[in-house]
Chains A and B, each alone.
Chain A
């Protein structure tokens, strides 16, 4: 066997006494797609940060073709051809595509004094074309949809001579179709001899694209295998370290469906959705499926009062809700767990406790002062009910892993005892075990009589949790399916645009 491209030897890293990585060794071969799997907190992000030069390891070395990579130096690491796409979008929202591609490694002229703008623009257009994206290179990237921002980040890696491309959850914000396009690109990279370290919670993608897979658990290297030697269940077993049979399959511990608690009639907003009508009944979970950009989040935001709508009505418990009034929606028992938890769901620097009690502060208040003891009681209750892993209730929310942050967002809204819960991508970027816990929680809440509207781009999630499935396509309701009998193909058929080539491979 030829020498590996990357040789990782006994890496260790701890953060305030906690081992993030312990003696992790790993080889990445030239021209392979190497998947990296593990629950949140398994050490994947730490490993990526060390490989890409964002942080230094406490001990151990990384070698590229036998020569050590400079530690803690992003520039030098990128110059050697190791480029990372990080989980959180690392685009510069105010800069256009050209600047995003080249900032940090600008093409220059005049002895490096001035930028070679024309050449950078030419290369950007060529790269975006190669990615098959029709992106206006003069628009600030922040104004582009998520999928296109991701493409800009990919193009950034392409713009450099790339030996190893590290992709951390690259499909987290992409729809099924866009994901296939991205996986095709990954294969294209491989065929050009570029190695890819592919990190994803979506195991289907791992099986589709990877040659080998390495599993990390609690900072330790569990195993590295050829992908053909493992199956789905075994991979999950390696990740969670316990039997995870309960993670698969549909729930459907049919809860008693009660009266209608939310009625939406003819909801229309000219720029994003048209004539949306549906009902939510107590005790049912309704999945809202569709491609990214189909208008699902927009509907949720409008009926919760965050955004305005042009016509139609939203009726909760017999009362018509005013347009664009979140307070009124909350008063009538609605709660929304937003998609972008970093910006909309959590106050990251504030402690876990304050985040959990934020939505119910008035009920904890006596004589205008917040009762700390009642707050503590409520928070403790939520932490154990949702099994949130935290070092304490006074640590900042931003220090928690993604899955636990999401649980806090859910817990924050459950504290207000809503009758209608709207979840927008509740398990995005969350690991397998936390995902299963959240799914169980959603079913349990339904059995207690809560009506839930769950937006999700993951078909297995939609199929396993929903009683009914609504599918949106290009701003309209394309159809409704029975949760117990629906298949992935049926949902996808409704979600994909009509009269269009469904096949995605080029």
Chain B
């Protein structure tokens, strides 16, 4: 095998490198077509659009790392948005922001806990539980809103969400905070290591005395909490709250997690990869706009995002099938020293 393919494989195995290259190439192409793509306003727009996805992906990534999945975050966002509207809009119950927002965060966490409980104690596969919740929560939202949109959120919250602090809206600051916090959990806490351990081998985890129930409850509750957080900081940007909020959001988040290199079977994945995937997938729409494909742009966004999933899975398969990889089964060991085995006879 030529060393060039070897290098290519090694590079592709680092998902982050591939994603970064893709982002750079796409940006380069689009900005030659229209330099306006690199305008501060546009870059900021991409950042703002990716913020809620980034926040929630931090949670869903941890769920996937434990070997489970959550495809209900879109509907959960809609329900929590409706709840927030009901609680604090001046046309509804007019509660103080300082009561309403903690209530929304608590509610999101509790629904996450409920999901986790059904999965761990109820022993229902998470794909089924969250598929059920995807529909049920959307239905609950419709009931809660009685078919009407809600506006009139507190001015302060709206302006924080739109223009924000230091030129960046609240959602971007929140995303940065959540990212750092999640990063610390993953690399610097026992909790994070144990989540990965559980996803890597449930059997070994059991034999080590790790609590599968507690770890998975945390992952789901954290996802619920982050979905609530994303709702609170991002939804007030919109002129009004509609029942269709978050439609397809759950799939976008899962796509980011998978494209970002998190193994769907659990145990493997890096936050940097997921975040690059969030940026890449958020770019799809603005890129199509700048390429001026007109009406087609709207239609192609989803198709292209879907293609990324397939691309990610195919790269995974092709790359790991190469003999240099860590295929299952016996790995040849030379009983000789490392130096000798390096120069193995051809």
Spell out A's residues near B (CB within 8 Å). 52-54, 73-75, 77-78, 84, 86, 88-95, 99, 102-104, 106, 108, 113-115, 117, 134, 140, 142-148, 177, 270-272, 274, 291-293, 295, 297-298, 301, 339-340, 343-344, 474-475, 497, 500
Contacts and interface: CB of A to CB of B under 8 A. Distances in A.
Contact of A74 (B187, B201, B207): B207
Nearest to A134: B338
Among all A-B residue pairs, the 6 with the closest Cβ atoms: A74-B209, A293-B333, A94-B267, A94-B200, A143-B326, A92-B200
Interface of B: 184, 187-190, 193-194, 196-197, 199-201, 203-210, 263, 267-268, 323, 326, 328-336, 338, 344-346
B207 A94 contact: no
B196 A95 contact: yes
15 contacts: A52-B207, A54-B207, A74-B209, A91-B201, A92-B196, A94-B199, A103-B197, A115-B190, A117-B188, A142-B326, A145-B332, A148-B333, A292-B333, A293-B335, A475-B334
B124 to A, nearest CB: 18
A142 B332 CA distance: 13
Nearest to B211: A75
B182 to A, nearest CB: 14
A52 B207 CA distance: 9
The majority secondary structure among interface residues of chain A is: loop
A99 B335 contact: no
A145 B331 contact: yes
B200 A54 contact: no
A95 B201 CA distance: 10
Contacts of A90: 201, 203-204, 207-208
A409 to B, nearest CB: 16
B192 to A, nearest CB: 8
A293 B330 contact: yes
A75 B331 contact: no
A89 B200 CA distance: 13
Contacts of A52: 207
B330 A145 contact: yes
Contact of B200 (A95, A143, A144, A339): A95
Contacts of B207: 52, 54, 74, 84, 86, 90
Contacts of B204: 89-92
Given A95-B200, A134-B338, A271-B332, A106 B193 contact: yes
Contact of B209 (A53, A115, A271): A53
A312 to B, nearest CB: 15
B333 A147 contact: yes
Contacts of B210: 103-104
A91 B328 CA distance: 15
A75 B209 contact: yes
A293 B203 contact: no
Given A90-B203, A474-B336, 6 more contacts: A90-B207, A103-B193, A103-B208, A115-B193, A143-B331, A270-B345
Given A113-B189, A343-B328, A93 B267 contact: yes
Contact of B196 (A99, A271, A301, A340): A99
A94 B205 CA distance: 12
B183 to A, nearest CB: 12
A143 B206 CA distance: 22
Residue of B197, B268, B332 with most partner-chain A CB within 10 A:
B332
A293 B326 CA distance: 15
B201 to A, nearest CB: 5
A90 B205 CA distance: 8
Contacts of B335: 177, 291, 293, 474, 497, 500
A91 B207 CA distance: 10
B332 A295 contact: yes
Given A92-B204, A274-B345, A297 B209 contact: no
